[in-house]
Amino acid sequence: MLMAVGIIAAVANGLSLPFMTLLFGDITNAFGQNQSNNHIVHAVSKVALKFVYLALGSGLASFLQMSCWMVSGERQAARIRNLYLQAILRQDVAFFDKETNTGEVVGRMSGDTVLMQDAMGEKVGKFIQLVSTFLGGFVIAFIKGWLLTLVMLSSIPLLVLSGGIMSVVVAKMASRVLECLEF
């Protein structure tokens, strides 16, 4: 249940950014299409109220997304810790003499479950949010101007390539910095 609410909230939170771009377009049009000050104030006030509604909805969706995914990740990590502890307690004493030691068992149980909790928790919600932002942006772009969107799609391979090159360069530089700091 928490995951379902978290997914819905993540999608809603992700769609808030593409909808905000629509509202920016509406507010720009409100300034450009109206000639008298009264009409401008009225049109801008309507769009500003839509911004408030979007902000409230986005805030609620963000809260639900983070809380649902964090609680879900914590519950799953607690269950994994429990199952791991049960599996360790079922081992013979010789297992701890030959295969591993107590410190390694405790370290693995605490460290690995934290990593699993991070992976299954809020990062899943953030991934869903970013995917919905990406797809929602493309849907709105195709609705508003399909021809320009098709032209802009041609730049995606270049963006992916430059992002890949950048990540390789940053990883190499980070490893060099770590080597220098190790003396």
What are the DSSP E strand ranges found in the chain? Answer: none
Give the residue from 62, 69, 82, 65 showing the smallest Cα distance to 120.
69
Task: Kindly report the number of other CB atoms within 10 A of residue 135's CB atom.
Answer: 14
**Angstrom distance (rounded) from CA 3 to CA 73:** 10
Q: What is the pLDDT of residue 102?
A: 66
Tens of pLDDT, residue by residue, the chain (183 residues): 889 999 999 999 999 999 999 999 999 988 887 678 888 888 889 999 999 999 999 999 999 999 999 999 888 888 888 888 888 888 787 777 776 766 777 777 777 777 787 778 888 999 999 999 999 999 999 999 999 999 988 998 999 999 999 999 999 999 888 888 875
Q: What is the pLDDT of residue 103?
A: 72
Tokens of 142: 């195709």
Q: What is the pLDDT of residue 183?
A: 59
Tokens of 170: 């940053």
Q: Identify the three-state secondary structure at position 100.
A: coil
Burial letters for 26-45: b for 16+ Cβ neighbours within 10 Å, e otherwise? ebeebeeeeeeeeeeeebee
